[in-house]
Amino acid sequence: MIRPVNPYPVGLDLEGRRVVVIGGGSVAQRRIPVLLEAGAAVHLVSPEITPTLQALVDDGRIWWEQREYSTGDLEGAWYVVAATKDSLVNARVAAEAEQLRTFCVRSDAVTSGTAVTPAVVRRGEMMVSVLTGDRARTAEARDVVARALSESAVEAPEVDEKLRGTVALVGGGPGADDLMTVRGRRLLSRADVVVADRLAPQRPLAELRADVEIVDAAKIPYGRAMAQEAINEVLVDRARAGKFVVRLKGGDSFLYGRGYEEAQACAEAGIPCSVVPGVSSALSVPALAGIPVTNRGMTHEATIVSGHLPPGHPGSLVEWDALARLRGTLVILMGVKNTPAIAGALIDGGRAADTPAAVIVDGSLDGEVTHRCTLGSLSETIRDHDVRPPAIVVVGEVAGLPQVTTGA
């Protein structure tokens, strides 16, 4: 049933309450992180889901029933999101929610549900919601508010026109949305297409215009992944179609982010490409855990090394024996699975087994945790705490420094 849009603005307390999302595509991917941030117990029903949502399932943050929607799925729900690509299914979901007196948002028909999702601007503890009854006008009004809150001048229309047909490689930082750069957020707000990794900040995606195309380029370790060639093709094709494309990654695009490969693909296709550096997780995550990768009088070098291939692998380019002889800090990225082999290679190469070490999981995110240990006990630490990516390993005397408070 289509209703006149005259909504009553209200804030919902969803902490610990059942929220049902029907559909596992890009809309669900945009909405679920915001629901989780509000503390909702999210139950997802869909035959298929995106790789990013799969990662949330694997981490136990949401519940997923891999099937089509059926009557009864909304029982006990406080709030419902109908986000399938089938308008008939969304209509059935909205009808059941109506019978249960549960508020429901329909992604395909704003005025056909019993609730409307506002455009949101967040600045620290302040949240501003905008509703106009028209998606385009709502997004425009939200952008005006966002710019005003950021105390930045409204850019001339010709600036946005210059972005059409171009690609921006944006480093999103370690994961927390407020650690993304101002330039990155500004360009993201102007994007027509966003090609996003699962480690990129997710909340800013929920603030984008409804017509922005989001391409899930998640690379789950040892799981589902979008091929790099396919990512390059999307960047080039969308830019050739006159779109402004933002490639949003976690950390920094040029540090194990394949950013140069993507910039090269754009250059070969004649597509203008800009780079927005990101706050690298290799430096920021240890800092957030109170571990400096260098410290005066203690370290004269810090080495960032990829652990995605184990020592001895024919494809590895790392000289682990040489690294073992260094006295400074080793920061190991993408090495959770291979940490036991790496620790063994470093000890065999001469690094003392009692060298301090630390494993930092979900750096910058709400679930961040640090496990301090030694090089010799790294394997047991990974196993005993069931450590899963994303996690960063730090080896060196700096990991044994006394804990300091580094939270905001």
Active site residues: 197, 219
Q: How far is CA 310 from CA 13, 243, 346, 357, in A?
A: 46, 40, 12, 18
Encoding tokens for residue 92? 């059935």
Q: Are 151 and 145 in contact (CB under 8 A)?
A: no
Instruction: Give ∠ CA 211-213-217 in degrees, rounded to 5.
Output: 160
Strand ranges across the sheet with 273-276? 213-216, 193-196, 245-249, 167-171, 273-276
How far apart are alpha carbons 205 and 66 in whole angstroms? 25
Rg (CA), the chain: 23
- Strand partners for 276: 170
Q: Are 259 and 170 in contact (CB under 8 A)?
A: no
Q: State phi, psi for 42 to the nearest 5 degrees.
A: -90, 125
Q: Are 363 and 392 in contact (CB under 8 A)?
A: yes
Contacts of 246 (CB under 8 A, 6+ apart): 167, 168, 170, 187, 188, 191, 193, 194, 195
